[in-house]
């Protein structure tokens, strides 16, 4: 399956009303794990090379949004897929519970500061969509407030696109059974126990509410320039493969152009390389005379 095929298969078409229970989170097609892992490594190298071109061009940027239910694999994607990128031109922003200062501003205030500059890539680990997801599910603000945020999000993303930012939004879709298994694995792993809390288990009671909130977000905030992708994520290796293929395919389609040098290369070679070669010859001659 080519990168373009992954884009086609997992992208939600603008205007589509989807039901997440109709999507199989365990889907892996005919892919084999060992082949997928090798392919992901190839794609990581391509991603790194494309990032260098984007950084050199400094005309456009890329925003990658990762959303998922708890244990959906956002950290895993950042580590195994995006971890190959040079941190000099790439940063990860984590959006957790808002601080008092952040709550004193509109909900997009803290997000604006983390958007990528020209030539850069930003990865949102959770995002501005939390304000139409958890805020909605737990009635943190009235419906009259959060229901207006879909249009505000669309305006925000449209402005980013008009300023040269390409946006990819991934929902890492896991099953309720897989989530519970991952929670159990965290309990058994001393290195991961710090991640677990009673709140994680309590949130499972709102599973269907979260799915409906996501479905509405996909329907209301999904455009040609800022598309949503639903990624089957029960198999971590297939999740990483799908996300990698889509990112690389998208970056390749942007056809980044490395700028022409601003100095006279011939003059640089004449002045410095010739001088260095002469110094090297002189050094060898001195060594011969001292023997």
State the average pLDDT over residues 161-170. 98
Residues 6+ apart with CB under 8 A from 185: 192
Q: Residue 185, SS3? A: helix
My answer on whether 50 and 92 are in the same domain is: yes
Q: How far apart are CA 181 and CA 187, in angstroms?
A: 10
State the average pLDDT over residues 212-232. 97
State the average pLDDT over residues 78-95. 93
Q: How far apart are CA 112 and CA 105, in angstroms?
A: 12
Q: Model confidence at 259, in pLDDT bands (50, 70, 90)? A: confident
Asked if 54 and 256 count as a contact pair (C-beta separation under 8 A), the reply is yes
My answer on whether 102 and 207 are in the same domain is: yes
Q: How far apart are CA 128 and CA 109, in angstroms?
A: 10
My answer on whether 164 and 282 are in the same domain is: no
My answer on whether 228 and 268 are in the same domain is: no
State the average pLDDT over residues 112-140. 97
Q: Model confidence at 282, in pLDDT bands (50, 70, 90)? A: low
pLDDT recorded at residue 2: 80
State the average pLDDT over residues 96-112. 95
Map 239-281 to HEC letters: HHHHHHHHHHHHHHHCCCCCCCCCCCHHHHHHHHHHHHHHHHH
Total domain count, the chain:
2
State the average pLDDT over residues 69-90. 94
pLDDT recorded at residue 262: 72
Q: How many CB atoms lie within 10 A of CB 204?
A: 14
Q: Model confidence at 67, in pLDDT bands (50, 70, 90)? A: very high
Q: Is the pLDDT of residue 153 over 60?
A: yes
My answer on whether 39 and 74 are in the same domain is: yes
My answer on whether 156 and 251 are in the same domain is: yes
pLDDT recorded at residue 281: 60
Tell me the average pLDDT of the chain: 92
State the average pLDDT over residues 263-287. 67
pLDDT recorded at residue 118: 97
Q: Is the pLDDT of residue 279 over 70?
A: no
My answer on whether 251 and 289 are in the same domain is: no
Q: Is the pLDDT of residue 276 over 80?
A: no
The one-character DSSP state at 115 is S
My answer on whether 192 and 221 are in the same domain is: yes
My answer on whether 275 and 203 are in the same domain is: no
State the average pLDDT over residues 196-218. 96
Q: How far apart are CA 287 and CA 10, in angstroms?
A: 67
Higher pLDDT, 195 or 152: 152
Domain around 282: 264-291
My answer on whether 130 and 152 are in the same domain is: yes
For residue 225, give the CATH number of its domain: 3.40.50.300
My answer on whether 169 and 281 are in the same domain is: no
pLDDT recorded at residue 269: 79
My answer on whether 285 and 213 are in the same domain is: no
Q: Is the pLDDT of residue 40 over 70?
A: yes
Among residues 243, 237, 69, 225, the alpha carbon closest in space to that of 157 is found at: 225
Which range, of 82-91, 106-115, 128-137, 161-170, averages the lowest pLDDT?
82-91
């Amino acid at each position: 399956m080519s990168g373009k095929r992954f884009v086609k298969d997992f992208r939600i078409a603008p205007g589509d009303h989807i039901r997440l229970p109709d999507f199989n989170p365990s889907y892996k097609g005919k892919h084999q794990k060992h082949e997928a892992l090798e392919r992901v490594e190839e794609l990581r190298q391509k991603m790194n090379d494309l990032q260098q071109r984007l950084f050199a061009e400094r005309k456009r940027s890329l925003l990658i949004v990762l959303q998922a239910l708890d244990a959906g694999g956002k950290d895993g994607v950042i580590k195994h897929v995006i971890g190959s990128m040079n941190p000099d031109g790439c940063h990860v922003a984590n959006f957790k519970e808002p601080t008092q200062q952040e709550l004193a501003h509109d909900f997009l205030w803290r997000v604006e500061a983390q958007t990528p500059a020209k030539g850069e890539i930003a990865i949102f680990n959770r995002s501005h969509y939390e304000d139409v997801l958890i805020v909605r599910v737990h009635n943190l603000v009235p419906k009259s407030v959060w229901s207006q945020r879909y249009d505000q999000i669309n305006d925000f993303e449209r402005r980013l696109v008009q300023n040269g930012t390409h946006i990819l939004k991934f929902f890492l879709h896991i099953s309720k059974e897989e989530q519970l298994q991952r929670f159990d694995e965290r309990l058994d792993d001393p290195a991961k126990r710090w991640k677990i809390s009673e709140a994680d288990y309590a949130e499972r009671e709102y599973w269907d509410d979260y799915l409906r909130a996501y479905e509405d977000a996909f329907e209301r905030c999904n455009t040609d320039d800022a598309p949503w992708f639903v990624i089957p994520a029960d198999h971590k290796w297939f999740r990483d493969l799908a996300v990698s293929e889509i990112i690389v395919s998208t970056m390749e389609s942007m056809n980044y152009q490395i700028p022409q040098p601003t100095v006279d290369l011939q003059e640089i070679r004449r002045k410095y390389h010739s001088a260095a070669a002469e110094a090297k010859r002189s050094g060898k001659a001195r060594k011969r005379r001292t023997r």
